[in-house]
A and B are shown apart, each in its own frame.
Chain A
Amino acid sequence: MATTTNYSWTTPDDTSLVKDGAAAIRTLGSSIDTTTKNLNPQTTTGALAYRSATSNVNTALPIGTAGQVLTVNSGATAPEWATPSSGAYTSIASGNLSGVSTVTISNISQAYRDLYLVAFNPVASSGRIGLRINGDTASNYQYWKVELDTGTGVGSNGVNVINVGLDITNATNWTYSFYIENYATTSYKPITVHHRKNNVANGTSGWAHWNNSSAYTSLTIVNTDAVNYTSGTYTLYGVK
């Protein structure tokens, strides 16, 4: 029997009988179908195909998660999705605060060492930026802060939100930042907080704590006076 050059599909010889034509076409079609499927094994949206160890048989690689990049596995045998390691800070989530009082950032990748959350220029008629972990609204937070211009300190224990900054009161150029160490571990984690007004020598710095050892999977930014922000942005970075 004659075969095709690339995939060795069986085709009728020149001397084959016409009466065998239907069977020959069926055999050829079946071979084409099998080869096509072997070369296109993807079954889900966004999946890729790469060559396996067997010629003309590809392997499907399902789509990765948001922010992942394509890289080569440790055995240098196949491609795989991975969270990028280049650069100390990787933006995980970002958006606008304008028009909302609350932002919940959920399903945070556990692939980083630390988290760095920045709220830039949050403007509202009143209130402060507050932070909650994993949606916990119980009185499981504590913090201590020092006002930089006066040098006075104040702390709270057993409160239902981390509230370390100064009142926003329609000021601009404020930056709130939260640095959370080892967030993916199941141990108690320190949170360092800075609140800085960029154009004057004022702000607060402090430390906060969530009285729970669970890994952090979501962060919630709230306005402590229950009003919508009129502008501002938020960005969550994963830190390697």
Chain B
Amino acid sequence: MDNLMLIEHNCETGEIVERELTAAELKQAEKDKAQHQAELARIEALANEKAALLERLGITAEEAKLLLN
């Protein structure tokens, strides 16, 4: 796996520095990844709950939209 890299772009000087992530930045990146996966799981769970509710009610998603409009 490639090392994670970072660009620092200083608008004032125009200087662009490319370097590897520091240990702290790597830790943050892993935290970001975990949060992203949790977010995807949360959205999927919401979709599953919605589908289960529609099934219990015996209506389609389109019919549910009609009820809410």
User: With a CB–CB cut-off of 8 A, which chain A residues contact B18?
Assistant: 99-100
In the complex, which residues 36-69 of chain A have their Cβ closer than 8 Å to any Cβ of chain B? 65-67
User: With a CB–CB cut-off of 8 A, which chain A residues contact B7?
Assistant: 95, 100, 102-104
In angstroms, how far is the closest chain B Cβ from the Cβ of A217?
A: 9
Interface of A, secondary structure class, is loop
Inter-subunit contact A228/B46 (CB<8 Å): no
One of B6, B10, B35 near A101 (C-beta < 8 A): B6
Which listed segment binds B: A25-33, A155-163, A179-187, A190-198? A155-163
Decide yes or no whether A134 CB sits under 8 A from chain B: no
Inter-subunit contact B32/A160 (CB<8 Å): yes
In angstroms, how far is the closest chain B Cβ from the Cβ of A116?
A: 14
One of B5, B8, B31, B39 near A106 (C-beta < 8 A): B8
In angstroms, how far is the closest chain B Cβ from the Cβ of A72?
A: 24
Inter-subunit contact B36/A163 (CB<8 Å): yes
**A160 CA to B12 CA, complexed, in Å:** 27
Known pairs A102-B4, A102-B25; A225 contacts B9 (CB<8 A): no
Known pairs A102-B7, A102-B21, A228-B4; A66 contacts B13 (CB<8 A): yes
In the complex, which residues 39-60 of chain B have their Cβ closer than 8 Å to any Cβ of chain A? 39, 43, 46
User: With a CB–CB cut-off of 8 A, which chain A residues contact B46?
Assistant: 154
Interface of B, secondary structure class, is mixed
One of A103, A106, A137, A226 near B33 (C-beta < 8 A): A226
**A62 CA to B6 CA, complexed, in Å:** 32
User: With a CB–CB cut-off of 8 A, which chain A residues contact B33?
Assistant: 127, 224-226
Inter-subunit contact B36/A225 (CB<8 Å): yes
Considering the complex, give the chain A residue whose CB is closest to the CB of B36. Answer: A224
Size of interface on A: residues with Cβ below 8 Å to B: 34
Decide yes or no whether B16 CB sits under 8 A from chain A: yes
**A66 CA to B9 CA, complexed, in Å:** 12
**A127 CA to B16 CA, complexed, in Å:** 24
**A236 CA to B35 CA, complexed, in Å:** 26
Considering the complex, give the chain A residue whose CB is closest to the CB of B25. Answer: A102
Inter-subunit contact B16/A95 (CB<8 Å): yes
In the complex, which residues 14-28 of chain B have their Cβ closer than 8 Å to any Cβ of chain A? 14, 16, 18, 21, 25, 28
In angstroms, how far is the closest chain A Cβ from the Cβ of B27?
A: 10
Binding site for B on A (CB under 8 A): 65-67, 92-93, 95, 99-109, 127-128, 130, 137, 154, 156, 159-161, 163, 222, 224-228, 236
Binding site for A on B (CB under 8 A): 2, 4-14, 16, 18, 21, 25, 28-33, 35-36, 39, 43, 46
